[in-house]
Amino acid sequence: MTVEFGREVEIDKILLYTRADFPHDNWWRQVTLTFSDGTSLEWELEKSTLPHTLTFPPKRVTWVRLEKLIKADDPSPFPALSQIEIYGKDILKDAMFA
């Protein structure tokens, strides 16, 4: 899944909310985040009902892609993403500061 911002932004935190109706649901033990600046981060997740939080040094990007989701070995075949939140700020180009 790719989130496109339509402009360059500076981001530094991502939250993933995964469906966690255990034992019905499964979970991802690892995901990869790829960024438009050519970098990527492998993110180890835990079996949890809480949001998964990743913070990192600020990156200037135009999109973020969630990919390479690796399912845990639990018996359920149903891992699911409920919500993704990406935190940062707009980059003001051509802004004049006093």
Domain of 74 in residue numbering reads as: 2-89
Q: In total, how many domains does the chain have?
A: 1
- Residue 14 in any domain: the answer is yes
For residue 96, the model assigns a pLDDT of: 52
Q: Can you say whether residue 6 is alpha, beta or left, with left for phi > 0 and alpha for psi between -120 and 50 degrees? A: left
The CA-based angle 87-94-4, given to 5 degrees, is: 35
Q: Is residue 95 part of a domain?
A: no
- The 10s digit of each residue's pLDDT in 14-49 is 999 988 877 878 888 999 999 999 999 999 999 888
In this predicted model, what pLDDT tens digit does every residue of 43-97 receive, in sequence order? Answer: 999 988 899 999 999 999 999 999 999 998 988 888 888 899 999 999 876 555 5
CATH number at residue 15: 2.60.120.260
The pLDDT value recorded for residue 95 is 54
Task: Please report the pLDDT score of residue 24 as a whole number.
Answer: 79
